[in-house]
Amino acid sequence: MQYGLIGEKLGHSFSKIIHEKLANYTYDLHPLSKQELSSFLEKKEFRAINVTIPYKIDVIPYLYEIDQRAKAVGSVNTIVNREGNLYGYNTDFGGFLYLLKHNNIDVKNKKVIVLGKGGASKAIIAVLNYLQAKQIITVYYKQSNDAITYEQCQKLHSDADVIINTTPVGMYPHLDGCPIDLQHYTKCTAVVDIIYNPIKTKLVLEAQKRNIIAVGGLEMLIAQAKYAVEIFLNTSIPEYKIDDIYKEMLFEKKNVVLIGMPSSGKTTIAAQIAKLLHKDFVDIDAEIVSKIGMSISDYFKQYGENAFREIETEVIKEFSGKNNIVISTGGGCIKKPENMLYLYMNGVILLIQRDLKKLVVGEGRPLSSSVNALEKMYQERLPLYMRYSQKTIENNTTIEYAVKQTYHAYMELMK
């Protein structure tokens, strides 16, 4: 390996894609156990590497020299091998500084809560001090000399202005994770979660629901990678490349999610949109049928709607955590808020709207077995469809027209 990333679990890392957009080299993901770390660093069989959880502090004893910033921070995420000597740097500092400035998050004279006390939190605290935060509170799952507990934080610091998550809580595949309950922090004006997979964690979505400025960690990841490449290759890369790659990554990683009434055309449109965007196609109802081993109408008859909705949520959660797919949902997925939370994490939500008289009645559709049942369902669901969708596409003429409008709606939202 010449260039790459070391850490404990790297299966869902975006770093390879980002580095290979920034530089003309192959970037390898090299997971290591704690037992393997020492041997790897002693052999020095690499040109330059990045370091991620949980080794940003553990690598320090193996380094010949550490630059001033990394020394001040107390953690290293970038190592360069120069003639057999290992030099350590920290580009998380620059990455986080970029994230705050690019999103106009001002921490000067503010009370800031930092969740977690690993290597990433050290760089973030250094940035907060550099930007003159008034008070920085480190929160950890157990009390220590340099951190308080979550319970103490809620009791003593509910007036915090900014909350920053540096823990892995909420990272894929654990989408339900949320490290802190924002309802107790009524003065909070900004939330940063340095997790980038999913693109929007539950914490970020909960903050946005409360009209709090909230950003995930993808921009920080790209920015720190840009600064690392500059060190790796002793070169200079224009700052605008960070935003260019961020937009590219969003386009490549975001899911297109179609919601709407049964028989509104979601599945047909989704399959064609997937081809246009070079994304994989997923039909949630088809995945459910595969999972339960029978038709949905038969499952309804045997087990009822509540049991079906539980299965539906399991399947939605599974596919919401994936990237670069087009998802056709079942008509009733909007009935459970957690379904939409999962779908929003990596998705753009589009409503396929079709005139009621053009929707199909019966044909194995357990909740739209008659015109009256369909009309009632439509009135119940329409407010939910409108609440959750980011754009509406009318499917009342041709499928070709609806596909074109869906494509343009997605492209507009990705600008």
Give me the residue label for tokens 């929707």. 359
Among candidate residues 16, 56, 122, 226, the one labeled active-site is: 56
Amino acid identity, position 377: M
Burial tier of 354 (Cβ tally within 10 Å: 0-12, 13-18, 19+) = buried
Q: Which of 225, 253, 214, 267 is nearest to 348 (CA)?
A: 253
**Distance separating alpha carbons of residues 234 and 230, to the nearest angstrom:** 5
> Is 232 within 8 Å of 47 (Cβ atoms)?
yes
**Distance separating alpha carbons of residues 184 and 38, to the nearest angstrom:** 43
Q: Which of 206, 299, 269 is nearest to 410 (CA)?
A: 269
Helix (H, G, I), strand (E, B) or coil at 248: helix
Give DSSP secondary structure letters for 22-73. HSSS-EEEEE--HHHHHHHHHHT--SEEEE-TT-TTTTGGG-SEE-HHHHHH
> Is 297 within 8 Å of 252 (Cβ atoms)?
no
Sheet containing 325-328: which strands, arranged edge to edge?
Answer: 280-283, 325-328, 255-259, 347-353, 391-394
56 is catalytic: yes
**Distance separating alpha carbons of residues 207 and 127, to the nearest angstrom:** 22
> Is 14 within 8 Å of 60 (Cβ atoms)?
no
Q: Which residues are catalytic?
A: 56
